[in-house]
Structure 1
Amino acid sequence: MGLCQIHPKPNNNFIFIIIDLPSGSQLIIKQEYYHLNNDIANRIKRELKIHSFLNSSSNLEFTSSLNLEILHVDLQNSILVYKCSNYMSLANYYQKNNFFPIAIAKLVGISLGTLHSETFASRNCCDFMNEVIEGKLRYQFPYPSHLLDKLNFEASIRDLPPPGFPFMALYQRFANLRTAITELVANRQHYCLTHNNSQLDNILIPIHWEELLSQAEVHNEKSLRIINWENCSWGDPAFDLGKIVASYLLLWLNSFIIHPAIELNQSLQLATVPLEVIQPSILALTRAYISIFPKILETNLNFLSQIIRFTGLALIYEIISKLQSFKSFDDRCVCILQLAKRLLCRPEESFQSVFGITQLELVEQLKNI
């Protein structure tokens, strides 16, 4: 009998471990951190409740198929154990292969589009997502206190360790950025069930994805899985799209060398994951999403611009996540913040930089879908 391999994964809210079993299957184990006052945020309870709701809703067949099978629950110790057979995270796939198949991007877009369209304007789903779970788990849009117009020093100290102080100082200098974020969050829409953490680490694809996608029409193939649903809510679908687009951009942003002796333009040219390589995936994902959920363009005329804005916000949340892990606010973080500022404050001008084509060109393409 072979040995198990254990892979701990960094996470700010959980002890997160993946165990490779000799059989080839995997176990995903999550345990929520206890704070110094022996209190927890009940994220595990929330995730379990969401999982149970989706599996018990006959009209959410596709959405429930995105979940992994739960093998074990220990609420007393805030533990969930999932079974994961023959899957790998999309982040791992890209990192190992440095290859970005359009078929995978389309599958992600179709899956997110089906998730949002299947739950669109669902009263039952809306009521469930907005209910108070144990009196204190009503969803709040992620809006850290240090992004507010007026800095609350005590709240900021609580939310961020000392490495985050330079970020707060720089952020507070950009009045237009603070205004853009405030307006974006205040004007968010609530149309459907949203995952709210749809980054590459949380999207699982079959190890043998080529074979599966060649056997069936991609839109009929329930082959993709999404993990970490604890922040799921009744929310704005543009945020899910922005989150995944930001995750693609981070592959590029984290792939070039930043050094005082190297000019930024030269660093960009030396990126191991050039922006031009990931733009086709971002475009294919968005086109596939709209092909499944075209109604969103009628419901929200600014949907494409909102994707760009939420991409900027997601990049800022990525910086905050790093700082909460006691990583330094380095030159790379400054570059990410500058890009986030551009996306949030000038979304129309930034569109081509993200998608590789103009917004008007994409709109014309979507008319032919």
Structure 2
Amino acid sequence: MITLTAENVVLYLINKGIYPEHDDPTVKITSLSGKNFNLRLQFANGQDWLVKQEAIIDDACNDDFLGEWAFQSLLRCHPELSPLRAIVPEVEFYDTENAILVCRFLTSYRDLGDYYARATHPDSAVAQAIAHALGQLHCRTFNQTSYRDWMHQVDDSIHQGDRPSTSWGRLGKITPETFGRIRSDAFGFFRWVQHHPEVTAAIADLANHWQACCVVHQDLKFGNWLWCDASSEIRLIDWEKVDWGDPLTDLADVLAAYINRWLGSCTWEISSHLQSCLQTATIPLAALQPSLQTLMQTYYAAFPAIATVHPDWIIHTVRLIGRELIDRVQRDIQYYVPLGHQQAATLQLAQQLVCQPELASRSIFGMDLAAEFALPAVVA
């Protein structure tokens, strides 16, 4: 396999016919942080490229880019999906053998991780753009199993409707090896699971209501959304985990990102109760609620068929938010983040979302969502 470097990347582009050899190869090369090897190339003629290569270990990689290329191929070969191309990056080339992806660099955009880190009272127009993009993705691929089959031919790891696991997955059962791969304080998570069997039962029930019916992104952290202030346009990047699945998993993923922003802005003191700590938030929940409400309203307007897939879609989404919050605590444990008061508060909130979704939804969204959408209340 070729290993890209700042020294050989221009020659690589020329050899692949991506950059004309007769053009002036004067270029500014910038290394960008990330789990992959990322280089930004700014040519003297104004072209701006992002070249990414997967991490190579023992002359092999995980083919993570293959899913993104499968989705890009779907858009290229199905003209009826052309509106979706406005919300994804423009990928020019994929080198299967060397796991290299080349796309246009979006110069006027910044990621929403940066935006929300600075905005104490974020503009709900951003949430509206997120929800519209997500609703369009789900609506335009809804029940089109030919799209699923197309992507599966390109990347056979694209699922064809498999239900998710009902186990705790990331951490699994405690074994002797567990003691060597997590911090000692992380065993508090296992104690929490044992003390709350109702959470385990509720999460297992989520799988029984899972409906695979459209293309899903599955990695909707703020850092994967790019926002252009000048045009109020949004792009969704890093489609490595794209799959055929339940649209509400994507919706819950976005909503959980907002809730994590709120929790992350609190000051967590050992002696303080949960409510006291929440009152210290520099980004209070009330400041985010207009965005949360707008997101739900806009998503439903863009994809009203969600109510036919999940008649209780609001309750189901709220429970999935709780599941996502728990999953993020598990990720913290995997990456040796101390299991502190913020994680404990996150689990407490997740328990309420999963087990008492109607009550919790009113607190989180600041409104009665069932009444807002003229839907009958559903008792979970």
TM-score, with normalisation over the residues of structure 2? 0.80
1-structure distance, mates of 2:205, 2:166:
15
**Deviation at 1:339?**
1.1
**Deviation at 1:206?**
1.1
Does the C-alpha gap of structure 1 residues 88 and 159 become closer, same or farther in structure 2, counting only changes over 3 Å? farther
**Which residue does the alignment assign to 1:270?**
280
**Deviation at 1:286?**
0.9
Where do 5+ consecutive residues of structure 1 fail to align? 214-222
Does residue 318 (structure 1) correspond to residue 338 (structure 2)? The answer is: no
1-structure distance, mates of 2:71, 2:181:
29
Does residue 52 (structure 1) correspond to residue 62 (structure 2)? The answer is: no
**Deviation at 1:155?**
11
**Which residue does the alignment assign to 1:335?**
345
Matches within 5 A, 1:242-321: 242-321=252-331
Does residue 350 (structure 1) correspond to residue 360 (structure 2)? The answer is: yes
Contact 2:318–2:357 under 8 Å retained in 1: yes
Does residue 170 (structure 1) correspond to residue 192 (structure 2)? The answer is: yes
Match for 1:192: what amino acid? C
Does the C-alpha gap of structure 1 residues 249 and 134 become closer, same or farther in structure 2, counting only changes over 3 Å? closer
Contact 1:191–1:234 under 8 Å retained in 2: yes
Contact 1:256–1:268 under 8 Å retained in 2: yes
Give a deviation string over 1:241-288, Cα, whole Å, max 9, x none.
Answer: 100000000110100011124443332222111000001101001101
Match for 1:41: what amino acid? N
Matches within 5 A, 1:49-88: 49-82=70-103, 83-88=105-110
Give a deviation string over 1:72-115, Cα, whole Å, max 9, x none.
Answer: 53434433243222111112111123331121111111111111
**Which residue does the alignment assign to 1:237?**
247
Where do 5+ consecutive residues of structure 2 fail to align? 1-25
**Which residue does the alignment assign to 2:16?**
none
Match for 2:194: what amino acid? Q
2-structure distance, mates of 1:187, 1:141:
10
Does the C-alpha gap of structure 1 residues 105 and 160 become closer, same or farther in structure 2, counting only changes over 3 Å? farther
**Deviation at 1:315?**
1.0
Larger displacement relative to structure 2 (226-235 or 91-100): 91-100
**Deviation at 1:351?**
0.9
1-structure distance, mates of 2:284, 2:47:
34
**Deviation at 1:327?**
1.5
**Which residue does the alignment assign to 1:42?**
63
Does residue 124 (structure 1) correspond to residue 124 (structure 2)? The answer is: no
Contact 1:16–1:30 under 8 Å retained in 2: yes
Does the C-alpha gap of structure 1 residues 271 and 358 become closer, same or farther in structure 2, counting only changes over 3 Å? same
* SS of corresponding position for 2:168: helix
1-structure distance, mates of 2:348, 2:358:
16
Match for 1:236: what amino acid? D
Contact 1:27–1:81 under 8 Å retained in 2: yes
1-structure distance, mates of 2:316, 2:338:
30
Contact 2:121–2:283 under 8 Å retained in 1: no
Residues paired across the two proteins, number: 347
Match for 1:327: what amino acid? V
Larger displacement relative to structure 2 (187-196 or 69-78): 69-78
**Which residue does the alignment assign to 2:18?**
none
Larger Rg: 2
* SS of corresponding position for 1:59: helix
**Which residue does the alignment assign to 1:218?**
none
**Which residue does the alignment assign to 1:197?**
219
- Percent identical: 25
Contact 2:210–2:246 under 8 Å retained in 1: yes
**Which residue does the alignment assign to 2:8?**
none
Does the C-alpha gap of structure 1 residues 102 and 137 become closer, same or farther in structure 2, counting only changes over 3 Å? closer
Contact 2:91–2:101 under 8 Å retained in 1: yes
Does the C-alpha gap of structure 1 residues 159 and 279 become closer, same or farther in structure 2, counting only changes over 3 Å? farther
1-structure distance, mates of 2:176, 2:326:
18
TM-score, with normalisation over the residues of structure 1? 0.82
* SS of corresponding position for 2:110: strand
Q: Residue 95 of structure 1 is aligned with which of 99, 117, 120?
A: 117
Q: Residue 185 of structure 1 is aligned with which of 202, 207, 218?
A: 207
Provide the aligned C-alpha RMSD in A: 3.3
**Deviation at 1:310?**
1.1
Contact 2:65–2:99 under 8 Å retained in 1: yes
2-structure distance, mates of 1:30, 1:313:
32
* SS of corresponding position for 1:224: strand
Does the C-alpha gap of structure 1 residues 257 and 286 become closer, same or farther in structure 2, counting only changes over 3 Å? same
Match for 1:241: what amino acid? L
* SS of corresponding position for 1:80: strand
Match for 1:75: what amino acid? T
Does residue 8 (structure 1) correspond to residue 33 (structure 2)? The answer is: yes
* SS of corresponding position for 2:195: coil
1-structure distance, mates of 2:296, 2:364:
11
2-structure distance, mates of 1:321, 1:175:
21
**Deviation at 1:358?**
1.4
1-structure distance, mates of 2:39, 2:207:
34
Contact 2:37–2:55 under 8 Å retained in 1: no
Does residue 227 (structure 1) correspond to residue 227 (structure 2)? The answer is: no
